[in-house]
Structure formats: C-alpha cells, structure tokens
Amino acid sequence: MSALGFSQIPAEAGVQPRGLRIGTAASLSFITLAALIFEALFGSLSALLFLVSGCLLLITKPVASLKGILRFWYVLILPGYCLLSILWSQFPGLSLRYALQFAITVAIAIGIATRISPTAFLRCLFSIYGIGLAGSVLFGRVRDDIGAWVGIFGSKNAFAAVICAFTLASIGILFDRGAPRPMRFAALAGLAAAGPLLIKAQSTGAILFIVPASAVALAVLLSRRFTHWQKLFLGGLLLCLSFATLILVLQYSDELFQNLLDTSGKDVTLTGRTELWDFAAQFIREHPWLGLGYRAFWVQGFPPAELLWAIFGIQARAGFNFHNTYVNNAVEIGLVGVGLQILLLYGTLIRTYIWAFRAPAPETAFFASFLTFIVCSSFIEVAVFFQFSITSIIVICALVYTVRANMGLSKTPKRNPEKALRFQMGLS
C-alpha cells in the first residue's frame, strides 16, 4: 500500500506487531471501500466482499472495535429503528434482513473510522475513485439512447457521483503536502479531467452541486491563512450571503427554474421526479408517522411498485426509488425515521463544518465538501442511509472523526513516539 501513502512502516525491535496491524487495517479498509464503490462490477459479490473484509477489520482488534461501537452507540439508533419497523412492515422478513445489513454497515463504518486516520481514509477514497475513473475512460460504455457516459458503473448518475467524489478528494490530495508526489500529480490530472467527464455524464444535479461543494473545500483550505477572528468574520459574511442568495432564489424561483429547464433540457417534471413525489405523497398521507416498513415499498409483487416500474420502463424491477431522500424514506420509515435521518445527516454536516474551520486540513476540507454535496443532492436523489452504501459509510465515518477530534482523541501524543506513530497511521 506504499503507493497510497499509508504503507506499513518498517518495524523496529519490539514493535513489529504494531506495524502489522497498521498494514492490516489500511489494507482491509481499502478492500472494504472498494467493494462498495465497484458494486456495478462485482454485482452480488460486492456485498460479500464488503462483509468479509469489514468483519475481518473488526475482529482483528475485537476489543477496540467493540469499544468504538459502544462509544458511538447513538449512530446505531437509526438502524435500530429500521429494525423495529418489522413490527408494522408489510414485508417484515425483508425489513428484518435489510435492517440487519444496515446495522452491520454502520458497525463496519465505525470500525473503519476508529482504525485508520482521516488522512489514510481520504487517500483510500482518492485511489479507489481514481481507479474507477481510469477504468471508465478506458473500458466504459455510453448509453445508446441519450449518449451519456456511464463508465464502468451502473448509470450516468452513479458515474457522475463518482466523478464528484473524486473531484473533492483530488482537491484535498492536491493540498496534502504529506501525500506522495505522484499522488498529487494524479490529483491535478484528475481535476483537469473531471469537468469534461462530468459533462459527458449529463447529470445536471451533479454539475450544479459540485460547484458549492468545491467552494467549501477551497474555503476550508484557504482559511488556514486566517486568524480565528478573521474566520468568524468571513463565516458570518458567507452566512449572510447565503441567506441573501436564498431570498433571491425564492423571489425569482419561477424564472430560475425555467432557465434551468431550458439549459439542461429537462421537462417540467424533472424527468418524472415530480410525478414520483406526487405518487409517494399518497402513501405518506396514509402512513405518516411510521411508514410502510424499512425497504418495504420497492418489492417485486407489490402492485404500486410494479405500476411505477412499468410506467418508467424499469424492466429489471429493481434499483429504482423516489429520487428524493426525504420522500423515499418517509414512505418507508415515516416522519419519525426521516427525523432521525435529518438529525444524523445535518448534525454531521454542522459538526464537520466546525471541525473543518477549527482545524483546516485536506481531510477536513474533503469531509465538509462531501457532506455539502450530499445534502444538496439529497433533494433529487436517495443519498443515504441504507445497507452497503458507500455514501452512508463516508457520512458515518465523518461523524466519528468529528466527534473524536472534538473530544481530543485524535491529538497526536508528543511524549510517546509509539503512540504518535499509531495516531499517524490511524490506530485507535
């Protein structure tokens, strides 16, 4: 793993086991993340590879893994609620299965965040996404109907999401002075290629949302030159500008929306999204608080799901949703579940912002910008939280890292060189 910048360090006498654990944690984390990012290639083997490598990561240090899960027990409230939905789910067997998988996904995410450092995590993602984009350029495919690039991934939106994540990771790596020089050159080349690739993917939402996300990353990195009071002043100024922009958008929403449709070539239904939302509203009104059950709507044999698959031409009868995180989850786990998700997602966003501007660094810039992108895209896509989701993994890891940073758990010990080494490599 030396090319990634978090290789196993040559062990001196008496500390060889620690070097081995460091290499094991980084390697297993890399495989675990890659399994989800390349789900379109691996198919059903993706989940198996994720579970095997993730569970191996947990059991290599079982006591530390258990302590980490217990320390961040509140992150498991959401999967616990999803598991509880079997009591009212119309498909309790499926809800049980998916809720358990979601809980395992969360546990593995906590394990990753307590075993490797934020810097190593960022370099893992950059390397994996970079491999995916290189493979997409060399061996990817193009949709026959609209000419959009899908790369080696399942859809143009999935390809665009990978491009955006790689772009944000590249910004961080480019400013990471500790990263290997070839990696920084690759980040620069990746940034140059990301724009044209994103246009080829023809994902209007991704193109719109990558702009504010990238701005956040650059703002965090540039804030390293500012004093504490300058950061507060600029933060307040940006907050005022954001509110002013929001007021202008609301004031001229009709004109802006029409211009957006004209520019992107979308219809007034946003490619059928508004029709899906109207359909979902019927079920939300019927089951407002608890929903139909976790993952209990898009089930083969359920007439409403079959109807929507037929209307939108989804021949596989799978891999479809309401294209809105809050609407989709309100149908399945009700307003109670949506409230829990909002607390988790937006709480992580706020904590990440605080962490990023208190300790501006490449990794904090990445997490702040990535959360910004996810929150923006959550209104037109189902971004989080579900089983075997790389986005959910990154969000949960961001929360764990921010809490550890604020608690002082990630401060480098200066008196003990061995502990300093373990921190730098991300060991808990």
The per-residue pLDDT for range 28-57, each reduced to its tens digit, is 999 999 999 999 889 889 999 999 999 999
- In this prediction, residue 241 carries a pLDDT of 80
Q: Is residue 122 part of a domain?
A: yes
Query: Which among 413, 410, 416, 408 is positioned nearest to 428, based on CA atoms?
Result: 410
The answer to whether 172 touches 122, Cβ cutoff 8 Å, is yes
Token code pair at residue 414: 């200066």
CB 21 within 8 A of CB 427: yes
320, part of any domain: no
Q: Is residue 9 part of a domain?
A: no
What's residue 407's pLDDT? 80
Q: Is 203 exposed, middle or buried (0-12, 13-18, 19+ CB in 10 A)?
A: buried
In a domain, 374, yes or no: no
| Confidence label for 86 from pLDDT (cuts 50, 70 and 90) | very high
What is the average pLDDT across 280-297? 98
Residue 148 identity: A
Q: Does 156 reside within a domain?
A: yes
pLDDT on residue 270: 64
Query: Is residue 131 in some structural domain?
Result: yes
Where residue 3 falls among pLDDT bands split at 50, 70, 90?
very low
Average pLDDT over residues 150-178: 96
pLDDT at 44: 87
Query: What mean pLDDT do residues 323-343 have?
Result: 97
- 340, 332, 283: which is closest to 80 by C-alpha? 340
High-pLDDT (> 90) share of the chain, % = 73
What are 373-403's pLDDT values in tens digits?
999 999 999 999 999 999 999 999 999 999 9
Average pLDDT over every residue of 109-120: 97
Q: Within 13 Å, how many C-alpha atoms sit on residue 176's CB side?
A: 31
Q: Tell me whether residue 18 is in a domain.
A: no
- For residue 137, give Cα distances in angstroms to 130, 163, 200, 201: 11, 12, 11, 12
Q: If you average pLDDT over residues 207-229, what whole number do you get?
A: 93
What's the whole-number average pLDDT of the chain?
88
For the chain, how many structural domains are there in total? 1
- For residue 378, the Cα-to-chain-centroid distance in whole angstroms is 11
User: Tell me, what's the pLDDT at 261?
Assistant: 58
Q: Which residue has the tokens 């002043």?
A: 233
β pairing state of 149-151 and 141-142 = antiparallel
State which residues form the domain around 155: 117-202
**pTM for the full model?**
0.90
pLDDT of residue 119: 97
Give the mean model confidence (pLDDT) for residues 169-181: 97
Cα–Cα separations (whole angstroms), residue 90 to 102, 218, 378: 19, 47, 26
Single-letter code of the amino acid located at 410: S
Secondary structure (DSSP) of 23-40: HHHHHHHHHHHHHHHTHH
Residue 213 lies in a domain: no
